[in-house]
Structure 1
Amino acid sequence: MSVASEITRLNGAKADIIQAITDKGVTVPSSAKLDDMALLIASITGGGGSVGGITTKMIDSEVGIKIVDENGYIGASITNYFPHAGNTYYNNFAIVLEGVDFSQEGLGQVRFITPGTSDIGGRTYRTVNIGGVTWLAENLDFKFSGVNIGPSGSPSSPSAWYYNNDEATYGIDGTRKCGLLYNWHAVKHLNDNRSTLCPGWHVPTTSEWDALATAVGGTSTAGTKLKASGVSWASSWGGTDDYGFAAFPAGHRDSGSFIDLGSYANFWTATGYSSSNAANRDFSTGASMNSNSNSKSNGYSVRLVKDS
């Protein structure tokens, strides 16, 4: 296959590739042309065999867009194309070429992240497996039986809120996709009744959150690696989303006020410490994942873990 004919075929697939990259929050220049990507063309034409198609996949802990074969062997890296907002570069994306073999190139092999989906409470959520454990990759937005949505004050009964009580903007289907903020009483009610409310899933314990941090290299850098990337309205968020977990800066509710949207992601654990406090894990604009204990009346985000 000639370079010219390969350029023609690639440009036919351009829309799908550009859309896949855009969906990951990467800014694509309007002038972007696949035939400008000399490394890509060289990799394909030097791959030894015909190319059947192109797909796009997330990859684990790699720097730069990688051009890989179906087994993850690297044919080329592109580190200065498709610039990410904030003048950094997207770091976990692969263009997968079917029908080529880069195993002899000696450039290494990537590990693919394969997001899944699961239905909870009539809604389909993205999921991701990290360290052998399957987590929701989106914040829970489930108005389950027994939870009161949007009450005033700081109730000591199961309750949840949308940020600013605005579901259209801050619901998981809204423009900012934050999901509900639950108090810990709602978390306990959900977990106690999980066999009927969310069968096969549970609220993670402190130990499960800590194991998640360990699986991605430790708490000191887990924030950066687990936080969502490309959050255009939270420019200082600083996530690279290396594993597809996409911790989202949904803010929280504290003493009746909604605060820290765009700069904090607070998640409840299933672990209560006292009659008034429970354990949570949070991410701010720094690199770490933090451990705290806060009032059970606060409204925080929730992620679920699949039963083993």
Structure 2
Amino acid sequence: MNMKNKIWVIQLLIIGLLLSITGSCKKSDTSPRKDPIITWANPADIVYETLLSSTQLNATADVSGTFAYTPAIGTKLNVGDNQDLRVDFTPTDLAKYNIASKTVKINVINQLIFGSVTDIDGNVYKTITIGTQTWMAENLKTLHYSDGSSIPDVVSYNNTEENATKYGRLYTWDATMKGVTTEKAKGVSPDGWHIPSDSEWQVLENFLGGASIAGGKLKSKTDWKMPNTGATNSSGFTALAGGEYDANQFLTFMLQNEYAVFWTSTEVSSTKARERYLSYDNANSSIYDWYKIMKYSIRCIKD
């Protein structure tokens, strides 16, 4: 082999060696980066006006780096369920690890302050102020009007005291109104309270965002048949599905844990009055005009 060929072979070997080294370097440079593991659970519910802090914004990662939260520490969230909290994590070693993020949910609840009222029979009820109105936060249980006379046509679901204690009693419209037909009548209410009219229910619904969602904000989160759609009880009204006694057609108790039905003091005709009802399968506060002989739950409103 002459000198020229030898030089040519040596050059090829050098080029091959350089390509091999370059390939190795490229392989090392393009190795995939790992995703860091972020650990962060849904925080416990907080009361409205509680500022976000490290108690809620407490994510950790399996590598070192920095956390950026949205919303940030010190933020005051509005009342509502399932609100997003997000963290963006930037690893210190970006050559080995990717930027990562995680989202959790938090519920912000009203700071509910309950009062109380006592009826003629000594039953004590929670009360709650919602907007400009103060309502009973429990169903009425009394067997007597405030003058001491007995209330006719009053029952408890399945005629048990256990149901009366938990769900209150069920009253006809005439008994509820104590025989009068005037809106906002005192009826079966304790002194200083009355039976809410249709328009007073509308004020309540409007304050809670409208009838299509107010039912969810009125319903208790427990003691309803699933799915209990939209139930947050953010108002503190704590509506329970006390059911009804159908004295019109079936002559039986029905719909406990499915429907909460409340008489209003608004008369529709000589045989019918207006009710409000809440259902387990939607978030509405609904209107229905039905027979006065039906027996429903009662919620009183403060004068």
Same fold (TM over 0.5): yes
Aligned: 1:73 with 2:56 = no
Out of 137, 161, 171, which is 2:164 matched to? 171
Cα separation, 2, equivalents of 1:289 and 1:216: 10
Match of residue 208 from structure 1: 200
Residue type matched to 1:225 in 2? K
Q: Deviation of residue 241 (structure 1)?
A: 0.7
Q: Deviation of residue 72 (structure 1)?
A: 3.6
Cα separation, 1, equivalents of 2:278 and 2:246: 16
Q: How does 1:138-287 map to 2 (within 5 A)?
A: 138-145=138-145, 146-148=149-151, 158-167=152-161, 169-172=162-165, 177-189=166-178, 194=186, 198-231=190-223, 234-238=225-229, 239-255=231-247, 256-285=251-280, 286-287=282-283
Alpha carbons of structure 1 residues 116 and 67: separation in structure 2 relative to 1, 3 Å: closer
> What CA deviation, in whole Å up to 9, does each residue of 1:157-206 have, x standing for no partner?
x4111011112x2012xxxx111000001111187873996211000000
Structure 1's consecutive aligned runs of 4 or more residues displaced over 6 angstroms after TM superposition are 37-40, 190-193
Alpha carbons of structure 1 residues 223 and 181: separation in structure 2 relative to 1, 3 Å: same
Q: Deviation of residue 108 (structure 1)?
A: 3.8
Cα separation, 2, equivalents of 1:297 and 1:196: 16
Cα separation, 2, equivalents of 1:269 and 1:254: 17
Residue type matched to 2:261 in 1? N
Match of residue 87 from structure 2: none
What SS does structure 1 have at the residue aligned with 2:167?
A: coil
Alpha-carbon contact 1:159-1:183 (below 8 Å) kept: yes
Q: Deviation of residue 119 (structure 1)?
A: 1.4
Instruction: Answer with 193-202 or 137-146: which moved more.
Output: 193-202
Cα separation, 2, equivalents of 1:208 and 1:109: 26
Alpha-carbon contact 1:278-1:296 (below 8 Å) kept: yes
Long gaps (5+) in structure 1: 1-36, 41-63, 80-102, 149-157
User: Identity rate of aligned residues, in percent?
Assistant: 32
What SS does structure 1 have at the residue aligned with 2:46?
A: strand
Residue type matched to 1:212 in 2? L
Alpha-carbon contact 2:189-2:195 (below 8 Å) kept: no
Cα separation, 1, equivalents of 2:42 and 2:291: 54
Aligned residue-pair number: 209
Which structure has the greater CA radius of gyration?
2
What SS does structure 2 have at the residue aligned with 1:237?
A: coil
Cα separation, 1, equivalents of 2:279 and 2:253: 16
TM-score (norm 1): 0.61
What SS does structure 2 have at the residue aligned with 1:113?
A: coil
Aligned: 1:301 with 2:297 = yes
Long gaps (5+) in structure 2: 1-39, 58-71, 80-109
Cα separation, 1, equivalents of 2:131 and 2:235: 10
Cα separation, 1, equivalents of 2:187 and 2:286: 30
TM-score (norm 2): 0.62
Match of residue 25 from structure 1: none
